[in-house]
Structure 1
Amino acid sequence: MKKCCVQMEDLRKKIFFNGRLFQNLIGGIIIILFLFPHFLQAQDKVKGKNFIIEPPTLENLGFEWYIDGDVNRNATVKVEYRIAESAKEWKKGMPLLRIGGEHLERAGINYTTPHMFAGSILDLTSNTKYEARFTLEDPDGVEGELVKVVNVSTRAEPKAASGGRVRHVYSQYYTGVKEEPNYPGLVSAYNGSKETKGDWYVVSEDKVQPGDIIKIHGGLYQGVLLNYPDWNNIPFDGTYFFTAKGTAERPIVIEAAGDGEVIFDGAGAANLFNVMATDHHIFQGLTFRNVGRVFDAGRKHLAGASNLTIRNCRFEDVGEGIRTEFAGSKNFLIQDNVIIGRDDRYRMYGWAAHREGLIPYGTHLMDSYYGIMIYGPGHVIANNSIAFFHDAIGISTYGTPEKEQDLKAVSIDIYNNDLHLMVDDFIEADGGVHNIRIMRNRGINAAESGISAQPVFGGPAYYIRNVMYNIGQGGALKIHGGVPGLMVYHNTFITENNSGGGHPNSNYRNNLFLGADGPTIVAAFPYTTPYSIADYNGYRPNLGTESPENQYVWLSPKGQREGFKTLQSLTNASGLEAHGITVDYDVFENLQKPIQAAKSDKPSPVYFGVDLNFKLNPKGKAVDAGVIIPNVNDYFRQKAPDLGALEVGSPVIIYGVRGLKQDQEFWR
């Protein structure tokens, strides 16, 4: 090193032109050239910064680790976990996803992802303490803390507290013996005042307190909206307003008493239950019908509920079930509900049919919007049965995420839902930021796409073991805006993956994509970064008379879209799908391709989940054709994981509300 420095200094002294200024310039350039490799090495070294534990959910945990350096993106974070204080061996988790520098543009949004790692530990036991260990590794070196060990608990399901006050509500039509204390309607019971009709309906002399339980007895609760002293005390707008605060240990519970169906009929009102000012409320066992929006739970930049639980309820003939777009809404549990919209029950029309004048509004095509729409951290949407909406479940297309950590749409679980006949998509992850977990859902009949991501702000967004069948030409995934961080594992998509939107930093493994001989490609690979992965997937190309000759489309490093007729020719050119295979419907025990309408202005046939068998043929090509993914397919049964959502010999998955008859459609 000393000899090298002497030689460079001699060279600098020998060069002379136009005085000492040029001498200094040349000397500076030589020094920069000498030091540049050391500068690059310093930039490649990773430095750990803030480590964040996201709000835990019932079964999953999410983490973020912000970094500096690692310009060459070769740093990794190894994940291990175990039950706390168990002294058991560490289990291996999925590595955290490296994020940073991916650019998103859509609808005026201009966002670049921060440099960080993020990821989840999946399928844990609720209300259990876990120990998690994260090891930051980089061949170029690590500055700061190399290992993080954290203790965190999964959430418990909220339940009524013992010893709380109980209030009874009876319908105006009830004539039997009443339990005490009883009240003439839910408004009176919630506010604690019995003689509050007419001008007195806002009186709140003994409002519910944490731990209180309001039991609604069987009957019809329907306000006469133009009668201001009506029994239900909801004049003109037809809305019940809830404003009290419970606590985690002592939530406020509003539930069916168990002596008959409790029906809240909205009488055509726009909003039925306004819960935007509440905290720690539980609604369970109730039926809602004939209303625009049932639960108005939050408006952007205004107000929103937190720790809201809605379970074992039934929604019928509604425009929307549950909606919040408030970033401060957190920790919802929406579970085991039947949610039925107003859209067409017999035809699968795309929502563009309205724009083209094919179907007028008000004829049950777009009379409903979202079954469930949420924003904010820590929500769980599980085991719901949803039908006849524009979209079944969505994260709000909120826009650029808030800077405050507790206002971001992170750590959101959407799993084991049964979704039937949507005008647009089954699930929209569009406004999600990190650790969006969409797992084990069944979607049958969507006129546009299966799962939408337009955009997700960094990810990871996990799409794991979902089953989807009979989807319009939008295909399995709707991707727009440069979406990074999609982790697509073990799905069975009976449709194409033909999204045209370029997206970086994505990982597709162990999926099945089977076309239905439509006039489109079976798979597109519009990856805009060299660190995206697609491998170990199975494809059934479209073979219809109008299908394009090239079935696989790749975005080359030159930015050109190139088409390929076979999977092997795609692999030869791109290196993708080195272990991918071509399959057909014989990989299943007994499943036929859907028959889709030839033109978009004609409705496609409607199929029913109870009639479809997505189990694999034990002797088919999809068995043992996958790759091991820690914490996703650890329980594979034979030589290697199978492709698709259902591992041969695995336990039966319950889609939708638990307790319903599995051989009968839920809306009947």
Structure 2
Amino acid sequence: MKTITLTALLASFLFINWQPASVADKTMADEFIVEPSTLLCAGFEWKIFGDDNRNATVSVEYRKKGDTQWKQGHPLLRIGDEKVYGHDQRWVYTVPDMFAGSIFNLEPGTSYEGRFSLTDPDGVEGISEKLVTFTTRKEPQPYVGGQTYHVYPMGYDGPKESPAFTGLNAAYYGEGNQGDWWMVPEPRVQPGDVILVHAGLYKGDRRKYAHELALDFHGAYVLTQKGTPEKPITIKAAGDGEVIFDGDGAYRLFDVMAADYHYFEGLTIRNTEVAFYAGLKRVMGASGLTVTHCKMEDIGMAVMTHSADSKNFYIADNTLIGRHEPDTLIGWYGFEKPAPLTSYVAIKVYGQGHVVCHNSISFFHDGVSVDTHGLPEEGKPKCASIDFYRNDIFNMADDFIEADGGVHNIRVFENRGFNSYHASLSAQPMFGGPVYFIRNICYNTPGTALKYMIRPAGIYTYNNTFITEAAISVFSNGHFRNNIFMGPSDSRQALSATTLTTYSTMDFNGYRKKSNSEKPYRLRYPTNNAQNQADEKELTWVEATTLKELSKLTGFETHGVELDFDVFENVTVPDKRGHIYAVEGVDFSLRKGSKAIDAGVAIPNITDGFAGKAPDLGALETGVAMPVYGPRN
């Protein structure tokens, strides 16, 4: 990504500060950025100057390269001037002026064209249409054609395929590397090589000097060789039985933050704090890490990177089991005794281009998270173009999924979460966005559906099913459509939210009608542009008895509807605090004739293919196959 030149800065100063107000409302087009594409999505940014009245728009069209017919994409989001605060306002980040957004529902390994049209009633200076090409990534695969090495556990005395080695380090680095000598040989493996690990237990005694597995003291496999996208270095189960890597209680087992394009498949990993240690902030981060069809249990974290330099991870089809209490839902603060942090976040990433999909995740503090990183780092890639989808998440002490710390085009879609204590989905902070929360099912969160604190900016919340309360703290530039908020507690509001921007929108959503709450709907929002980004304490609560009254008083939810649990085929009211509800038997499909059917609004590239007069509310569209949550096959 390019930095803004001194000339551009001077031009923007002259354009905005020395021109009449009507001219400042014009839009000056600047740099266009194509972010790294993932398997199913692509992200874009278009920097601008001007447009003080925020009435410019960018429409999106896309097609496969070679096709003649364009498809309509979701418009880019206008962002800029929103203030994102740190705790106690120790820092304030001002979102730069631009448009940003994503194209969804793409095919892996396919080239596309995108057409982006910038319009402004006040006029556009510069290029108003961008035609770009981009290619989605393929699902990573081992390379066929490299060397193959066979690894066997200690004590194995059966027949061996050649070349054969005892332990992973011997195959990766070379023989005779016990004790201090493990770092002496140059790595044996080269891009495209495959290490087949045969059945057995691989557990070193890290307190025994010169142990055969060369894991003295630190207990980690420190891998430093570089593969390539076309020729990854593969470490996978040979297929003759379970391969178990036991960390012997070490803090990290596979240190891969200097190991680009490594592919791990079919391993069982246990008894370690961090299974894959892939990057530290301001130190180093890996590229192209693939972890697939692995089972990890008795771990603190499965995969983590804090580095802005990390990119293009593919973490898919794994079963991840943490150490938290499996039979009780306990948070880390509150009335109950706090849950100890025996396991932290199953998967935590930062950087660009990561895909985390189809994982089964149970008994952690958080399920999947963007690294809560602080301010975007100067001179580093922005945290952007990250996909979390079709993960199956069960019993979290805090949240199912956190987009916290993301900058642009964080996409969270079609995940299922059962039982989290504090929040279902989180964005605190979000540095401009957009973050997309689309078609997620979240069930039994005693706290809130959405943790939008630390003033996140740039949020799309579309077609989710929340069986929890809509207590949405403080956000800017947020847009809500086609969601179901089915809060089970009659004593809490059906909707309680604060937005700091006049251009946030909320409509076509469904809420559970509360019987005991006197004023079940309440909103705080700026009533004029002068109040944008004011402290929320300067805003006044508007309270209403009905959704219709709320709409009349505020202009929000003109097409909103009141619902109850009978809209679903079979969903139990989660009314037992601390109770763990099973997934089996719960059916979030909409019952025929329910008020949630055809009650939504069409959203380009999001609700395409709906069957009725209009899209349905919630995550599951009638007549459309339900997503596969968790590991495939």
TM over 0.5: yes
2:119 is aligned with 1:137: yes
Q: Which amino acid aligns with 2:596?
A: A
* Aligned residue in 2 for 1:109: 91
Name the CA distance, whole Å, in 2 between partners of 1:443 and 1:519. Answer: 24
CA contact (8 A) 1:173 1:219 kept: no
Aligned residue among 349, 363, 379 for 2:330: 349
CA contact (8 A) 1:349 1:365 kept: no
What per-residue deviation string (whole Å, max 9, x for no partner) do you get for residues 613-637 of structure 1?
1111121000000000000011101
Name the CA distance, whole Å, in 2 between partners of 1:176 and 1:508. Answer: 61
2:463 is aligned with 1:494: no
What secondary structure, in the 3-state scheme, does the structure 2 residue paired with 1:620 have? coil
2:566 is aligned with 1:586: yes
Name the CA distance, whole Å, in 2 between partners of 1:627 and 1:478. Answer: 25
Name the CA distance, whole Å, in 1 between partners of 2:599 and 2:423. Answer: 27
Name the CA distance, whole Å, in 1 between partners of 2:603 and 2:329. Answer: 36
* Aligned residue in 1 for 2:164: 182
Q: Deviation at 1:235?
A: 1.1
What per-residue deviation string (whole Å, max 9, x for no partner) do you get for residues 85-133 of structure 1?
122x110011100000000112333100000000000010000000000
Structure label with greater radius of gyration: 1
CA contact (8 A) 1:214 1:255 kept: yes
Name the CA distance, whole Å, in 2 between partners of 1:69 and 1:81. Answer: 27
Gaps of 5+ in 2: 1-16, 528-538
Distance of aligned partners of 1:226 and 1:534 in 2 relative to their CA distance in 1, 3 Å threshold: same
**Which deviates the most, 607-616 or 618-627?**
607-616
What per-residue deviation string (whole Å, max 9, x for no partner) do you get for residues 267-293 of structure 1?
111111100111111011101011111
> Percent identical across equivalent pairs?
48
Q: Which amino acid aligns with 1:281?
A: H
2:373 is aligned with 1:398: yes
2:539 is aligned with 1:566: no
What secondary structure, in the 3-state scheme, does the structure 2 residue paired with 1:188 have? helix
Aligned residue among 196, 201, 223 for 2:204: 223
**How do 1:90-101 residues align onto structure 2 when only pairs under 5 Å count?**
90-101=70-81
What secondary structure, in the 3-state scheme, does the structure 1 residue paired with 2:475 have? coil
* Aligned residue in 2 for 1:596: 576
Name the CA distance, whole Å, in 2 between partners of 1:286 and 1:128. Answer: 30
What secondary structure, in the 3-state scheme, does the structure 2 residue paired with 1:589 have? strand
Q: Deviation at 1:592?
A: 2.0
Name the CA distance, whole Å, in 1 between partners of 2:513 and 2:449. Answer: 14
Q: Deviation at 1:47?
A: 1.0
Name the CA distance, whole Å, in 2 between partners of 1:145 and 1:201. Answer: 57
* Aligned residue in 1 for 2:455: 482
Name the CA distance, whole Å, in 2 between partners of 1:408 and 1:38. Answer: 32
2:145 is aligned with 1:171: no
What secondary structure, in the 3-state scheme, does the structure 2 residue paired with 1:576 have? coil
* Aligned residue in 2 for 1:512: 484
Name the CA distance, whole Å, in 2 between partners of 1:351 and 1:519. Answer: 23
Name the CA distance, whole Å, in 2 between partners of 1:372 and 1:190. Answer: 26
* Aligned residue in 2 for 1:634: 608
What secondary structure, in the 3-state scheme, does the structure 1 residue paired with 2:20 have? helix
Q: Deviation at 1:38?
A: 7.5
Root-mean-square deviation (Å): 1.5
Aligned residue among 354, 361, 367 for 2:342: 367
Name the CA distance, whole Å, in 2 between partners of 1:385 and 1:120. Answer: 26
**Which deviates the most, 103-112 or 45-54?**
103-112
Distance of aligned partners of 1:514 and 1:146 in 2 relative to their CA distance in 1, 3 Å threshold: same
Q: Which amino acid aligns with 1:576?
A: F
* Aligned residue in 2 for 1:467: 441
Name the CA distance, whole Å, in 2 between partners of 1:570 and 1:608. Answer: 36
Name the CA distance, whole Å, in 2 between partners of 1:505 and 1:206. Answer: 50
CA contact (8 A) 1:170 1:182 kept: yes
Distance of aligned partners of 1:316 and 1:38 in 2 relative to their CA distance in 1, 3 Å threshold: closer
2:624 is aligned with 1:644: no
2:596 is aligned with 1:622: yes
CA contact (8 A) 1:106 1:480 kept: no
Aligned residue among 327, 337, 345 for 2:308: 327
2:353 is aligned with 1:381: no
Q: Which amino acid aligns with 2:122?
A: D
Name the CA distance, whole Å, in 2 between partners of 1:394 and 1:574. Answer: 34
Name the CA distance, whole Å, in 2 between partners of 1:228 and 1:407. Answer: 41
Name the CA distance, whole Å, in 2 between partners of 1:149 and 1:339. Answer: 42
Name the CA distance, whole Å, in 2 between partners of 1:619 and 1:633. Answer: 20
Q: Which has the higher strand share?
A: 2
CA contact (8 A) 1:51 1:65 kept: yes
* Aligned residue in 2 for 1:121: 103
Aligned residue among 550, 569, 587 for 2:519: 550
Aligned residue among 313, 316, 319 for 2:294: 313
Q: Deviation at 1:70?
A: 0.5
Aligned residue among 449, 452, 458 for 2:426: 452
Name the CA distance, whole Å, in 1 between partners of 2:466 and 2:41. Answer: 24
2:384 is aligned with 1:410: yes
Gaps of 5+ in 1: 1-35, 598-603, 660-668
Q: Deviation at 1:136?
A: 0.3
Name the CA distance, whole Å, in 1 between partners of 2:99 and 2:375. Answer: 19
2:508 is aligned with 1:526: no
Distance of aligned partners of 1:357 and 1:72 in 2 relative to their CA distance in 1, 3 Å threshold: closer
- Matched residues, number: 604
**How do 1:4-19 residues align onto structure 2 when only pairs under 5 Å count?**
none
What secondary structure, in the 3-state scheme, does the structure 2 residue paired with 1:570 have? helix
For normalisation by structure 1, the TM-score amounts to 0.89
What per-residue deviation string (whole Å, max 9, x for no partner) do you get for residues 5-45 of structure 1?
xxxxxxxxxxxxxxxxxxxxxxxxxxxxxxx9981111011
Q: Which amino acid aligns with 2:524?
A: L
Q: Deviation at 1:339?
A: 0.6
Distance of aligned partners of 1:109 and 1:397 in 2 relative to their CA distance in 1, 3 Å threshold: farther
For normalisation by structure 2, the TM-score amounts to 0.93
* Aligned residue in 1 for 2:190: 209
CA contact (8 A) 2:330 2:336 kept: no
What secondary structure, in the 3-state scheme, does the structure 1 residue paired with 2:553 have? helix
Name the CA distance, whole Å, in 2 between partners of 1:256 and 1:189. Answer: 14
